[in-house]
Structure 1
């Protein structure tokens, strides 16, 4: 039996007084001795939490008992150690930052692409009239992506709307969007529909659920995750490594954050270069006076420094 579980989930569901909900939810998570990161907004929840199997089960049961969150599809990973060291619950304007805040234009509760289960995705993905669209950031799809997927040059999901025009050539195709757990696709597919793409789908549960349900077939490389694991294996059917070391170009699946906190770049680096560069992306970062101690993992706990935040929001970052 797994010593710990890690839960990945999201839910678009209106939360009244979401800022107060966030404060209360932080206390609840701490009462279960969970660690993780949860974003709360008026539009819903986006979270990854980790703890004992019993605590995770109690957490899932509690959310499913709330009518607002009854349909949450939790992705559960068994892990040897917790995937976080602290518990954070933060109130924000969106549960995934997109800049698409007008509910009259984008509202995942009312309209998104058609959800495809793993077997449906497998049946469709290689057809001539289908385009598979990765809506994640560069550092994510550089580490791993579906074979033949279209990727976009974006640093953050909020850049996605500005790239819509680059996809106009595919308006007569079936578009299948995918991301890590499905949350970005809810807004990406809704925006595509708003912009005149008529046949839009999304991979339900994202890469993580697809790996569990279909063995990750034809997903090349590893999947970036937003916790101290940094990446996870997805494909147990026909796995390959596609990422290369930022410094030397050698094939490597290892993703790290630069040891210089003022850079904190996400990049792939082989162990040999990791030792040579002390976990940094460049010589300048290696010599930086604030460089963190590299322990071989390339994961660092962030120290939140809220700016112009309310007292309640500051309390949520403890």
Structure 2
């Protein structure tokens, strides 16, 4: 039995004094020796945390004991080592940046797509009047996606609203949205409904829960995750590799960050090209004077940048 777990979760539930809550929650997480990344906003929580099995159990019990978050659905993975190095808990305006000038235009607590459990999603996804919509970013769906899914050319979820017009051709269809854990679909499906789409659904628990509940059938490639693992397997029924090395074109599931910190692009690269280019996306980045040492993983711990005391402040410029 593995000693550690990683918990992926979110909960749309109003939080009063959310900034204060974030500071207190960070102290609580550290008291359990958890590591991870949590975003706290007035609208709720969005987090991935990792620690011992006992610490994760205590954390989940604490979250569920708070009536505001009692409905939180945790996706639990057993892992060999913790999936993060440090613990961060930060306040932000939204737990997922919607890209809307007025984020209050949509409220997942009031209106969102019909939640489909993985079994129902599996049964519906191949019907003729259904469109499967991936609401994730390019680097995510390039690594893995559902067979026949419609994907969007977006760098971040905040770009999703600008793509609504492209989806108008599917207004007479049943739209089945999906993402990693479900959180983006809450806002994506709510926005689609606001824009006049009638039959909008979302995969409850996202790709991660789909992999656990129905063995990930027809999900092609791997699922990108926002921790040290970078990507996880989903499909245990008919797995395939769909992503290719950016440099040579050979198939590979390995995704890394460019070793040039000023680039730091997410991209897929095979081990052979990784060795040849020192983990860089190009020879230009390979020759960059700040290039980080490539250890084969393509994962780099963020190093705090020194404060330049000679630089004039905006107020004084």
Find the aligned partners of 2:224 and 2:304 in 1 and give their Cα distance.
Answer: 22
1:138 matched to which residue of 2? Answer: 138
The answer (yes or no) to whether the contact 2:99–2:160 under 8 Å persists in 1 is no
Find the aligned partners of 1:75 and 1:137 in 2 and give their Cα distance.
Answer: 21
Find the aligned partners of 1:76 and 1:196 in 2 and give their Cα distance.
Answer: 35
1:44 matched to which residue of 2? Answer: 44
1:227 aligns with 2:227: yes
Give 1:164-179 correspondences, 5 Å limit.
164-179=164-179
Query: What secondary structure is seen at the aligned counterpart in 2 of 1:198?
Result: coil
Query: What secondary structure is seen at the aligned counterpart in 1 of 2:16?
Result: coil
Give 1:73-84 correspondences, 5 Å limit.
73-84=73-84
Please identify runs of 4+ aligned residues in structure 1 that moved more than 4 A.
304-307
Find the aligned partners of 1:183 and 1:158 in 2 and give their Cα distance.
Answer: 13
Deviation, 1:304, is 5.6
Ranges in structure 2 where 5+ consecutive residues have no aligned partner: 308-317
In the superposition, the TM-score normalised over structure 1's length comes to: 0.95
Ranges in structure 1 where 5+ consecutive residues have no aligned partner: 308-318
1:249 aligns with 2:249: yes
Find the aligned partners of 1:36 and 1:306 in 2 and give their Cα distance.
Answer: 24
2:313 matched to which residue of 1? Answer: none
Residues 98-155 of structure 1: CA distance to partner in whole angstroms, max 9, x if unpaired?
1236465200011000000011001100000000000000000000000000000000
Find the aligned partners of 1:159 and 1:266 in 2 and give their Cα distance.
Answer: 17
Deviation, 1:303, is 3.6
Change (3 A) 1:305 1:29: farther
Find the aligned partners of 1:100 and 1:27 in 2 and give their Cα distance.
Answer: 32
Q: Which has the higher contact order (CA 8 A, sep 6+)?
A: 1
2:122 matched to which residue of 1? Answer: 122
Give 1:125-274 correspondences, 5 Å limit.
125-274=125-274
The answer (yes or no) to whether the contact 2:41–2:94 under 8 Å persists in 1 is yes
Deviation, 1:305, is 6.2
Find the aligned partners of 1:306 and 1:178 in 2 and give their Cα distance.
Answer: 40
Deviation, 1:302, is 2.3
Count of equivalent residues: 307
Deviation, 1:39, is 0.5
In the superposition, the TM-score normalised over structure 2's length comes to: 0.95
